Chains A and B, each alone.
Chain A
Amino acid sequence: MSARIGVVTFPGSLDDRDAQRAIRLAGAEPVALWHGDHDLQGADAVVLPGGFSYGDYLRCGAIAAQAPIMHEIVEAANAGMPVLGICNGFQILVEAHLLPGGLIRNSQGSFVCRDQTLRVENATTAWTHGFSAGDEITVPLKNGEGGFIADAETLARLEGEGLVAFRYVGVNPNGSLNDIAGLTNERGNVVGLMPHPEHATEPGFGPDTPSAMRSGVDGLTFFRSVIERTLAAA
């Protein structure tokens, strides 16, 4: 039986279908979850997709973090279920206090859309163990409020405990402190990042690589990592 990975749709989610497609391409069964339900439908893992939930009102991700299904997600995440937050999903994880710090408007003040090189800093998480630490990968990045900040104490703890999962390489597109692109929690089951691995999962539709245009599929490893782990543990 293939692993079942839930994707939550909030009002204003954009990339829920793309995340479902990435999960299918990686070999698992995507399960559509609804923000207003109190039901994870037996999913083995959950993805919070990108978009602009609630029009980014109040703060990005802040209202979605109050959604009914977040009660079950926080509970399951604290019990070890793998959760991946992409872009707005990362903002929701931060607002739900599953990951520390905050995300603010890009330092240069504008929306950024580019193929972004990242360095994998922590290859021991549920979503990254298919990588090796130090790997450089390229996935699309598209956001207006992706600047990661945290107080000095939190930042020192993140660095000291190896909780920085991904760092921007070459260009820091949004002014994130320490070039932080993504984080994991201590247990390694919750990962959040601003760039979009689900948009780099199928040849012909991904970022450009030196070998061919739009051939980049580095994002597939996120989903394969969790599928192998989920299946292995099941």
Chain B
Amino acid sequence: MIVVEVMPKAELLDPAGKAVATALAKRGDGEFTAVRIGKRFELHVDEVTDAVLAKAQHLADELLSNAVIEDVVRVYVADAVAEDALA
């Protein structure tokens, strides 16, 4: 499968991440001074080819993220079988 990771732009407020950071501090885990929450898309394909990888990269930029508010951090091939075994 192909994994696409998207994060809110660093300069933007991330209220969800901020809420988690606040909760951590209240637990006494204040060494985690900030939390940011992003998205991970797992695109399953029968066979990873250069063409399908290029298409995933294109979709990551055009649909899975909005460049105004988000950055595509990484697009990479992962082993779906191993991931399933972990579940």
Q: A101 to B69, alpha carbons, bound, how many Å?
A: 9
Q: Let me know if A213 is at the binding interface, CB within 8 A.
A: no
Chain A residues near B87: list those with CB within 8 A. none
Within 8 A of B (CB), among A57-86: 58-59, 62, 66
- Which residues of chain B are near A109, meaning CB under 8 Å? 15, 18-19
| B75 CB-CB contact with A under 8 Å | no
A205 to B12, CA, bound (A): 37
Residues of chain A within 8 A (CB-CB) of B16 are 105
The reply to whether the CB of A107 lies closer than 8 angstroms to some CB of chain B is yes
Q: A104 vs B69: C-alpha distance in the bound complex, in angstroms?
A: 8
Shortest distance from the beta carbon of B76 to any chain A beta carbon, whole Å:
20
Q: Which residue of B13, B16, B19, B68 has the most chain A CB atoms within 10 A of its CB atom?
A: B68
Contact B69 A149 (CB under 8 A): yes
A128-159 near B? 1/0 per residue, CB < 8 Å = 00000000000000000000011100000000
- How many residues from B make CB contacts under 8 Å with A? 12
A107 to B15, CA, bound (A): 8
Interface residues in A80-103 by Cβ distance below 8 A to B read 94-95, 100-102
Interface size class of A (residues with CB under 8 A): 10 to 19
A62 interface neighbour in B8, B13, B66, Cβ under 8 Å: B66
Least CB separation from B39: chain A residue? A58
Contacts of B63 in A (CB 8 A): 58, 62, 66
Are the CB atoms of B68 and A102 closer together than 8 Å?
yes
- Cα A175 to Cα B69 with chains together (Å): 14
Asked if B24 lies at the interface with its beta carbon under 8 angstroms from chain A, I say no
The answer to whether A101 and B15 have CB atoms under 8 Å apart is: no
A94 to B68, CA, bound (A): 10
Give chain B residues whose Cβ lies under 8 Å from the Cβ of A62. Answer: 63, 66
Say yes or no for B35: interface residue by CB 8 A criterion. Answer: no
Contact B68 A150 (CB under 8 A): yes
How distant is the Cα of A102 from the Cα of B18 in the complex, in angstroms?
A: 21
Q: Which residues of A contact B68 (CB under 8 A)?
A: 94, 100-102, 149-151
- In the complex, the answer to whether A102 meets B13 with C-beta atoms within 8 Å is no
Contact residues of A between 105 and 135, Cβ < 8 Å to B: 105, 107, 109
In angstroms, Cα B68 to Cα A171, docked, is: 25
A: residues with CB less than 8 A from B are 58-59, 62, 66, 94-95, 100-102, 104-105, 107, 109, 149-151, 175
Given contacts A62-B66, A104-B13, A149-B12, 19 further A-B contacts (CB under 8 A): A58-B63, A58-B64, A59-B66, A62-B63, A66-B63, A94-B68, A95-B66, A101-B68, A102-B66, A104-B12, A104-B69, A105-B13, A105-B16, A109-B15, A109-B18, A109-B19, A149-B68, A150-B68, A175-B13
